[in-house]
Amino acid sequence: MKKLALISIACSFLLAGCWDERLYKEFTIVPLVGYDREEGELTGYHTYTTVSAPDMLSYSTVVGKGASVKEVGFDANRKIGETLDFSQLQVILVSEEMAKSNLLETFDVLFREPHNRLSSKLAVVEGEIASYMEKTEEMGLEAPDFYLKNLKTAAAHSIIPDINVNEASTRINDKGIDLFLPYIKMSESGEIPELAGVALFSNKVFSGHTLDDKESLIVNILAKQPGKFTVFSYEWKQGNKTYPITVEIARYTKKWNIHDNQIDANYKVKLSVEEFAHNHLNDEKTVKELEQFLSKEMTKDFNKVIKKLQEAKSDAVGFGRTVRAFHPHLWNEGKWQDTFAELDIEVKVKAKIAHSGILN
Amino acid sequence: MKFMLSRNQFFLLLFIVQTGSSFFSFPAPFVNAAGRDAWLLFIVSAIFHYMLLLFYERNYDYFTMGPFVSWLYKGYWLFVVISYLAYVDYTLAVWGFPKTPQYIVIGILVTVSLYANLSRAETAINLPVLLIPLILAFLGFLQFAWGDVIWTNIFPIGQITGTEWWKGLLKGQTAFIGIELYLVFRSRVDIKQNIKGLPLFVYQMTWFLFFFFSVLLTIWYFTPTGVKLVPEPLLFLLRTQEVTFIERLDLFFLYIWTVWTIVTVTLVSFTALYVHRQHAKEKQVRDTIIWHVLLVVLPLFFLKKENVDYLNDLIIYVHLVFAIIIPVIVIFINRRKRK
């Protein structure tokens, strides 16, 4: 009897974890969600997987309403009679209105519950969220795959920052840098969502300002967070003819000199020429002229972007991190976003052609 | 109970007990108390730790426990193990097993210790070896966070206030817990093996770098607001990492940490029972079982967050009594007696 009791106790230990098992058959995976807020009420659009035929997955969308993300989820559960599971969430879309509140507070549940994924991508969309949740013929892919693929490709090409939910929370909590998220618009035909650039945040909330794709690429360069490929295109005039030139940044260095209320940001950029029909890149004079042209154009564009960031009071580059660390007098002048907007920031880009491809 | 320790066994035992449960719980309260300069403060704490080790090394011969002091220490170690078990069980419930009955989890943790302590002394002594590859894997996987750290987070240096110094030094004591085992087992180390000098310094540096790394990583990775929200920053950091071969890296290391805590519980229990057997030589099996029953039952009263936090705060003050005050008194009295 004693032995039996001991064996039973020992065996009960093997059951540890059984209480907490999470079987796929009991949950419905949600890879894409979209949230909108109107008059304090949250509306959530959940794209979830259904098995339409053996070995075939399809997606449906269910809408839930409530005061919080969790309540919205419960409302959606009731409507479809299944339990939605957010542990495999790939993309979260939020409306502009929603982004004007602190996202960290709204998405508290993502951080509090350990099985939620923090590597999901986050994006702001223009207008009403409902139209972005349905698959259109133009998309070619199911909506969750479409958004994930587009966001990943754009991040690889430095057009948007490679920011996930966790990185977004770090930026929201950091007083020395502002968040910027991919900004998606519906195409003019209204058939396909397009990545339009980035939405700029100021002091934890969406500022209402956006940057287009070329400008957001520059922010990524300024912050030294480029993706795998960073390409710029310009038109170079030579005599009466115009030649397009496309260069890719091979590598670059940044140096910020911060003194008084002024920041001199110097960037030395080594470029690889990808497209230049004028050729003659073996001619020192041409190379020099081209380098001067690129330095001037890039400097002009980079400064334009800085002005836009200052207008939006959004330090997406993260000058504030350096200021907080090494220039406390400037940091302590007041709220950083206000100080940043008033700073005299001058960017200088020095371009150098490092590679010309396999042609001269 | 007769056994002899090699130098490596001795230091490994000490290292596991000192890092065991506190490794995950240490960085957040310490960084919150000391602020951005926590890393600087830890260097000062480490100097104090080394001085304490040198003091122990010089006087361990005088640290002999009578029945009264021995009962005090047994009570202290019981308190330490209960705090550890309550903390690890609460953390496991929050991170991995919210629905599993908590007595089952504690039962599993304690059963290993019961088995090891009913077996020969070598079983408990050699158990830490099991952890060496796991700890190395843990440190290796923390390197995934390297790309996300913000180096400037430690600047500006030297902003720490007097209150932060004081609070930080106190919280820093969490990393010292278990150091008194040095006095208990030092005399059991093979006399042919040298401890003084370089070996002790190497141990000190290993302990220091281990905790220092955790403090630096916490400051670099989290903003001051972020670290206030996350009680287990290293576990959270692992949770945020995306790897292709496993969905939740944090769970994998939660289990490693659980094993780490099991070994710590085994070693502290082994120490308490070893000290107990020096004065109570009979009915050793009964006493071992009673000890482990207490370990299963008592933590069940402290499984709320509020209680766990209270124990984690209280243990610092209790530790100061048993790592500094009592050893100093015992050594002082015994030195006088021997003169």
Inside any domain, residue B1 = no
A112: which chain B residues are within 8 Å (Cβ-Cβ)? none
Single-letter residue type at B308: V
A325 touches chain B (CB under 8 A): yes
Inside any domain, residue B178 = yes
Specify the pairing of strand A180-186 against strand A121-125.
parallel
Q: Is residue A195 over pLDDT 90? A: yes
Are B107 and A167 a contacting pair at CB < 8 A? Answer: no
Task: Give the pLDDT confidence of B222-254 residue by residue, as tens digits.
Answer: 999 899 999 999 999 999 988 888 878 888 888
Are B250 and A114 a contacting pair at CB < 8 A? Answer: yes
Averaged pLDDT score across all residues of chain B: 93
Are A325 and B152 a contacting pair at CB < 8 A? Answer: yes
The residue that leads in pLDDT, B336 or A139, is B336
Structure tokens at B170: 């106190």
Quote the pLDDT of residue B230.
93
Quote the pLDDT of residue B245.
82
| A13 band by pLDDT with thresholds 50, 70 and 90 | low
Inside any domain, residue B309 = yes
Quote the pLDDT of residue A240.
86
The percentage of residues in chain A with a pLDDT greater than 90, rounded to a whole number, is 75
**Beta carbon pairs, A and B, within 8 Å:** 68
Single-letter residue type at B239: R
Task: Give the pLDDT confidence of A234-280 residue by residue, as tens digits.
Answer: 998 888 888 999 999 999 999 999 988 899 999 999 999 998 888 77
Compute the nearest-CA separation of A13 from chain B (Å).
Answer: 6
Are A114 and B96 a contacting pair at CB < 8 A? Answer: yes
A170 touches chain B (CB under 8 A): yes
Please choose, from the candidates A41, A187, A202, the residue with its C-alpha nearest in 3D space to the C-alpha of residue A126: A187
**CA dist A109 to A71, A72, A118, B27, Å?**
11, 12, 11, 24
A332 touches chain B (CB under 8 A): no
Question: Positive or negative CA dihedral for B329, B331, B335, B338?
Answer: positive
The percentage of residues in chain A with a pLDDT greater than 70, rounded to a whole number, is 96
- Expressed as residue numbers, the domain containing B47 is 7-338
Inside any domain, residue B67 = yes
Quote the pLDDT of residue A1.
67
Inside any domain, residue B288 = yes
pLDDT beneath 70, residues of chain B: none
A121 touches chain B (CB under 8 A): no
Quote the pLDDT of residue B52.
97
A248: CB partners within 8 A, 6+ apart? A229, A230, A231, A232, A271, A272, A274
Quote the pLDDT of residue B176.
96
Q: Is residue A2 over pLDDT 90? A: no
| A53 band by pLDDT with thresholds 50, 70 and 90 | confident
Compute the nearest-CA separation of B230 from chain A (Å).
Answer: 9
Are A19 and B156 a contacting pair at CB < 8 A? Answer: no
Inside any domain, residue B308 = yes
Are B242 and A12 a contacting pair at CB < 8 A? Answer: no
| A112 band by pLDDT with thresholds 50, 70 and 90 | very high
B209-238 per-residue burial string, b: 16 or more CB within 10 A, e: under 16 = ebbbebbbbbbbbbbeebbebbbbbbbbbb
| A290 band by pLDDT with thresholds 50, 70 and 90 | very high
Q: Which of A146-160, A205-219, A336-350, B250-264 has the least mean pLDDT?
A: B250-264
Quote the pLDDT of residue A14.
66
- Under 8 Å between Cβ of B306 and B312: no
A325: which chain B residues are within 8 Å (Cβ-Cβ)? 152-153, 155-156
Quote the pLDDT of residue A341.
96
User: How wide is the angle at C-alpha B170 spanned by C-alphas B169 and B174, nearest 5°?
Assistant: 105
Could you give the 3-state DSSP secondary structure of residue A43?
Answer: strand
Quote the pLDDT of residue B297.
96
Quote the pLDDT of residue A276.
86
A109 touches chain B (CB under 8 A): no
Compute the nearest-CA separation of A163 from chain B (Å).
Answer: 11
**CATH no. for residue B194?**
1.20.1740.10
B144 touches chain A (CB under 8 A): no
Domains, chain A, ranges and CATH? 24-224 (no CATH), 230-360 (3.30.300.210)
Measured distance CA(A166)–CA(A121) in Å, rounded: 9
Number of structural domains chain B divides into? 1
Q: Choose, out of A118, A165, A204, A329, the residue to mutate when testing the contact with B (most B CBs < 10 Å).
A: A118
Inside any domain, residue B220 = yes
Quote the pLDDT of residue A9.
66
Q: Is residue A7 over pLDDT 90? A: no
Are A328 and B250 a contacting pair at CB < 8 A? Answer: no
Quote the pLDDT of residue A24.
79
A111: which chain B residues are within 8 Å (Cβ-Cβ)? 229
A326: which chain B residues are within 8 Å (Cβ-Cβ)? 152, 155-156
A23 touches chain B (CB under 8 A): no
Q: Is residue A188 over pLDDT 90? A: no
| A189 band by pLDDT with thresholds 50, 70 and 90 | confident
Q: Choose, out of B144, B148, B150, the residue to mutate when testing the contact with A (most A CBs < 10 Å).
A: B150
B150 touches chain A (CB under 8 A): yes
Compute the nearest-CA separation of A277 from chain B (Å).
Answer: 39
A328 touches chain B (CB under 8 A): yes
Inside any domain, residue B130 = yes
Measured distance CA(B284)–CA(B281) in Å, rounded: 7
Three-state secondary structure of B49-68 = HHHHHHHHHHHHHHCCCCHH
Are A15 and B155 a contacting pair at CB < 8 A? Answer: no
| A284 band by pLDDT with thresholds 50, 70 and 90 | confident
